[in-house]
Structure 1
Amino acid sequence: MGTSGRGSLKFPMPNYQVALFENEPAGTLILQLHAHYTIEGEEERVSYYMEGLFDERSRGYFRIDSATGAVSTDSVLDRETKETHVLRVKAVDYSTPPRSATTYITVLVKDTNDHSPVFEQSEYRERVRENLEVGYEVLTIRASDRDSPINANLRYRVLGGAWDVFQLNESSGVVSTRAVLDREEAAEYQLLVEANDQGRNPGPLSATATVYIEVEDENDNYPQFSEQNYVVQVPEDVGLNTAVLRVQATDRDQGQNAAIHYSILSGNVAGQFYLHSLSGILDVINPLDFEDVQKYSLSIKAQDGGRPPLINSSGVVSVQVLDVNDNEPIFVSSPFQATVLENVPLGYPVVHIQAVDADSGENARLHYRLVDTASTFLGGGSAGPKNPAPTPDFPFQIHNSSGWITVCAELDREEVEHYSFGVEAVDHGSPPMSSSTSVSITVLDVNDNLEHHHHHH
């Protein structure tokens, strides 16, 4: 027992627990304390004091009215800074010696949804190969939220972009393929993603980020020729190393997978052609001869630079050689010799002059004419001028296109027994080419005098 049997000062409970939402305004009353005496009637004026127990900072958030024992907030509480505050409160009176009592207050700060989710990155960039299987995991997006778990239960979703090609697991944040990617259809994608914390007090908060996905090329496209059959016409006298055509193939892939090399597979029978591997330009490198080969059919291939390469070997180049007038007429036999009776009728065919020309078409169509007829008369002498046109009384003519030489004036062996002249064959090329040959015609005797004798009898 104490001296003179005094009572003691006491709080109703040895400790108090108070829960309070964060962000309430300063001055919010949280607890009304009152210390009392164990013996009635011993009332004295009591003063209240308070201190932070484990953390000095706690004292700064609260105050106690030293006269009334009312405990209130002194500043706005923030659960994310400190979630629990423990305070010791002392009541002291003014008796002698002073009596005192102690109690403890535990303040639990309750969470409100006052933090938005924050993504680890505002932009995610990822590269992924085309043609991967559906469900391939491309990347994982993550956000964090400083609120307590009930206000930080994050859910992810795609807000915009290629949600038909990619899917997003709402709880794990894994982005995976929903379809097979084809770089030739789309080379990059963009997704706008959201993290939502599903908070209730005061309401949900969210954040967004952008995901960029680049599709890497695989060599999955064959080169395609611009034409199924390239046709070119080349004159046979084309100069060597002349470019006559360019083949072209395209490949929908990218980079080396689309770098094309060309080559001739077959049909280049005597090595007349050279195909430049990179440019696709076709050169004539050996002489062409229409009279030998009129048409070449080259099969060509285009090969890309992938590993392994893809090859299109279905290309065709048709080279049509055009005839050039590079052959002169050739007479089938030369020289021509013939005999004719002096009494044959006009128009009588004496000899058939024939020439051939290895060219084709107009370049091989011939016409004939007589030349050098003047010097054939007896006494004319070979010193006479060369006359390309027949003299008026020359007894033979040649049919321009058939080459038949016929009699066109009466023959008389007593006057001229022997005719020697030239024939020229000219083709219809541009410019024309020609050849000449010589013709000898001997006029044979019919016994004129005998006929005269018959007359006289």
Structure 2
Amino acid sequence: MVVATDADGPEFGSLLYSLSDGFDMQDRHPYFKIQPRTGELCVSQDMDRDSGQTIHDILIKAEDPGGLSAQTYVHIEVEDLNDNAPVFDPDRYAVSISSHAPPGTEVLSVIATDRDSGRFGRVTYEVLPGDMSGSFTLDRQTGTLLLTSTLTHLGAASVKLSITARDGEGLTSVRPAEVTINVLSSAQAPAVFRRSRYTFTVPEDAPPGTPVGTVEAINPADSDSVSYRISSGDPQGLFSVHPKSGLITNVQRLDHESQPHALLVLQSHTASSPVHSTTQVTVTVEDVNDNAPVFPKPGDAVTVSQNALPGTVLFIAHAHDSDSGANGRVRYRLKSSGDGMFAVDRERGTVALTQSLRAGRRQSYSLDIVAEDGGELPLSAAMTLEVRVDRTAAEDGLAFETLVYQVEIGEGYRKDSRVIQVRAHPSRGAHAPNSGVTYSLEAEAGFPPAPFRIHPNSGWLFLSHNLDFETESTFRFRVSATAGNATPAEATATAAVVVLVLDVNDNPPVFGSEVYYFTVSEGASPRGLVGAVEATDKDSGKNGQLSYILLTDGKFFRINAKTGEIINWVALDREQHGQHRLTVMVTDQGHPRLNATATAHILVTDINDNAPQFTHLPASKELHVQLWAGVPAGSLVTTMFAKDLDAGENGTVTLSMAAAELRVEGSGHFEIDGETGDIRTTEMFAGSAESRYALTVTATDGGVPPLEDAAVVHVQVRLTSHFLPRIHRF
């Protein structure tokens, strides 16, 4: 409840309360209303702090029957309630792991978010008890699942786990995350890395060829040598690994400012294992002090009244240093302090007046502001600030409390939100009434139009349009104060206003394409990098930091969480699975997290890894046929069928034949159609004795090099003079 008093009698002392927009108009607030006679401020509808604005500044106007009024602000902060349970997104995960993976291997990470704030939104994770839950451990804070014991006893199996999320007040997720872990068994154990994670550091000024670190995998079968390769995480090709020693080196110049760290996924493989072992290598590119601070421009100028009081802030210097840590920490100092009239705050860069300007006669001062970083060998930059003294200002002229106002506001604030109040007073007597002062805004050259308006009497700034950090993150304009009953010399004062717009997570990630198409060759060993999906996020900082998650087909493929590179880590067989459909999710790190999904179609291309097979013959690959000697030329003896599981030319079969007569009365009695496989006679059989022929039929595919298979057709020619020509097969 708000209460205003009026000293008038009953006729003019009864008050009516209303919500005001600050410009003498009634305001309809979406969440609040006021009882006009009692001043009770009430909520007009349900509020959700987690999806709306958390702070409201309400301007309330009290007006008497005579038209006189007063205004006051009520600051309302919406308190959070624990009305949201953690939610997994996604809530189903699938991944594969080798049965030979050592304890400590990272399996996957689950993600749950809670829209509440503070302890209500702090999420921890827990594996629900189950048959195989004891073989895994879960990092309660990060949701990372780790292997705690070997799985070799399982062979090829599928393990199901359920993971629940709990907030800081004990509210648990309605649905747990369902995790399917496919355990892959191979007759030959793969080479296994000694560690599931490696961490190395290299300075950014390291010349190409500098050793970064060494990984090592142990091969249970000493007969095969282990080979290493970087499968993902290095799209710019900054690093390489020696295929035999496992030594990682940089092959290009590094730059901490553009890439402070790399998350490499390395594979170890042997010729005899169809499964690769993987490890994650985090390479931190250590910052060196190779960037000096930079001012936006080499010089600037301000005008200050000779009546400005000591302590008045005249200017805010800001220099940016791209380095990190102490190398990027900027401090300010004055190289020339203008006869001790000015001082700069070392941390904030605010330049303030330390003495009165009235006693002096100088028309201007030139200040050299130096920005210096905190590197071991510090680097610096300088700018010149010209301070012009207005000697025409009257002794009792107007002056703002500061010549530069700087305020930060989130882009989520709604239109008509209160931003900051500027105030100007007569130079003498800072507490003198200033009811006759009116305020207005002036644009500043080189900056976009400011989406603000100012109350002419109170000096409060309000949002006139919604903000969008991605469109414009900084506004600079000037505010002018004018005294109504003053001489022209006393009439006006100006100050600068800088508004920094803060990013909120209002943009979801967007994939470059809804559907991606990749091809990868089948083979006896995994192929490594298949391709990459890519998403962008217009937001900044953590709101724009992306992580990729593979939602399906984790048996054959994995994805680099940082780069979106899809990796094949289990050997592919086109004849078993000719294509794979993967669903990929990308999520940002904002609160709440926003995400998007895309589909990747992976076509497995053929290699000539299958020989033709005579599928209609027994294991001996022999066929016995007999026919009568009187059959005419061109008679069908038998038909041979050969099938090749490969595709294209690799699966195109041609048949040929060679004859070896066991009892020969003539040659060239048979021929074969290379396409249909029909074997026919080429002439009449003559003679008084039976003949036997062994025909070797070869099926050859069109691959390079070609593969083939052979079968033998045994033909017995029987003599007869009593029956019509006919063919028997047995």
Task: Provide TM-score, normalisation by structure 2.
Answer: 0.42
Which one scores higher on RCO, CA 8 angstroms, separation ≥ 6?
1
- Cα distance in 1 for residues equivalent to 2:708 and 2:537: 55
Deviation at 1:34, TM superposition (A): 1.5
Q: Find 1:193's aligned residue among 578, 584, 597.
A: 584
Please give the root-mean-square deviation of Cα atoms over the aligned residues, in Å. Answer: 2.2
**Match for 2:658: what amino acid?**
L
Kept in 2, the 8 Å contact 1:7–1:42? The answer is no
- Cα distance in 1 for residues equivalent to 2:469 and 2:433: 42
Cα-to-partner distance string for 1:340-388 (whole Å, 9 max, x where unaligned): xxxxxxxxxxxxxxxxxxxxxxxxxxxxxxxxxxxxxxxxxxxxxxxxx
**Match for 1:189: what amino acid?**
H
Deviation at 1:114, TM superposition (A): 0.6
Q: Which residue of 2 aligns with 1:264?
A: 657
Q: Find 1:50's aligned residue among 441, 448, 461.
A: 441
Deviation at 1:107, TM superposition (A): 0.8
Q: Find 2:453's aligned residue among 40, 44, 63.
A: 63
Kept in 1, the 8 Å contact 2:659–2:693? The answer is no
Cα-to-partner distance string for 1:87-110 (whole Å, 9 max, x where unaligned): 211111121224222111111111
Task: Check if 1:275 corresponds to 2:650.
Answer: no
- Cα distance in 1 for residues equivalent to 2:561 and 2:446: 40
Deviation at 1:430, TM superposition (A): 6.2
Kept in 2, the 8 Å contact 1:123–1:210? The answer is yes
Deviation at 1:56, TM superposition (A): 6.0
Q: Find 1:322's aligned residue among 712, 718, 726.
A: 718
Q: Which residue of 2 aligns with 1:402?
A: none
Cα-to-partner distance string for 1:216-250 (whole Å, 9 max, x where unaligned): 11111101012122222211111111112101100
Q: Which residue of 2 aligns with 1:307?
A: 704
Q: Find 1:14's aligned residue among 374, 394, 403.
A: 403
Instruction: Give the direction of change, closer, same or farther, for the CA distance of 1:295–1:168 in structure 2 (3 Å limit).
Output: same
**Match for 2:685: what amino acid?**
L
Deviation at 1:263, TM superposition (A): 1.4
Kept in 1, the 8 Å contact 2:629–2:685? The answer is yes
Instruction: Give the direction of change, closer, same or farther, for the CA distance of 1:316–1:10 in structure 2 (3 Å limit).
Output: same
Q: Find 2:473's aligned residue among 78, 83, 94.
A: 83
Could you say what secondary structure the match of 1:249 adopts?
coil
Kept in 1, the 8 Å contact 2:447–2:475? The answer is no
Task: Check if 1:105 corresponds to 2:105.
Answer: no
Task: Check if 1:128 corresponds to 2:520.
Answer: yes
Deviation at 1:57, TM superposition (A): 3.9
* Unpaired runs of at least 5, structure 1: 326-428, 432-457
Task: Check if 1:25 corresponds to 2:414.
Answer: yes
Mapping 1:226-237, distance limit 5 Å:
226-227=616-617, 228-237=621-630
Deviation at 1:320, TM superposition (A): 2.3
Kept in 2, the 8 Å contact 1:51–1:87? The answer is yes
Cα-to-partner distance string for 1:260-313 (whole Å, 9 max, x where unaligned): 111123425522111121211111113324733342222221111112111112
Q: Which residue of 2 aligns with 1:74?
A: 464
Kept in 2, the 8 Å contact 1:290–1:321? The answer is no
Cα-to-partner distance string for 1:146-187 (whole Å, 9 max, x where unaligned): 001220110011112x22111110101111111111111111
Q: Which residue of 2 aligns with 1:140?
A: 532
Runs of 4+ in structure 1 displaced over 6 angstroms?
A: 1-5
- Cα distance in 2 for residues equivalent to 1:7 and 1:430: 140
- Cα distance in 1 for residues equivalent to 2:393 and 2:650: 106
Instruction: Give the direction of change, closer, same or farther, for the CA distance of 1:88–1:272 in structure 2 (3 Å limit).
Output: same
Could you say what secondary structure the match of 2:530 adopts?
strand
Larger Rg: 1
Could you say what secondary structure the match of 2:507 adopts?
coil
Kept in 2, the 8 Å contact 1:290–1:322? The answer is no
Deviation at 1:43, TM superposition (A): 5.2
- Cα distance in 1 for residues equivalent to 2:502 and 2:470: 10
Instruction: Give the direction of change, closer, same or farther, for the CA distance of 1:149–1:156 in structure 2 (3 Å limit).
Output: same
**Range moving further from structure 2, 69-78 or 98-107:** 98-107
Could you say what secondary structure the match of 1:250 adopts?
coil
- Cα distance in 2 for residues equivalent to 1:318 and 1:277: 19
* Unpaired runs of at least 5, structure 2: 1-357, 359-390, 725-730
**Match for 2:634: what amino acid?**
N
Task: Check if 1:206 corresponds to 2:602.
Answer: no
- Cα distance in 1 for residues equivalent to 2:487 and 2:543: 54
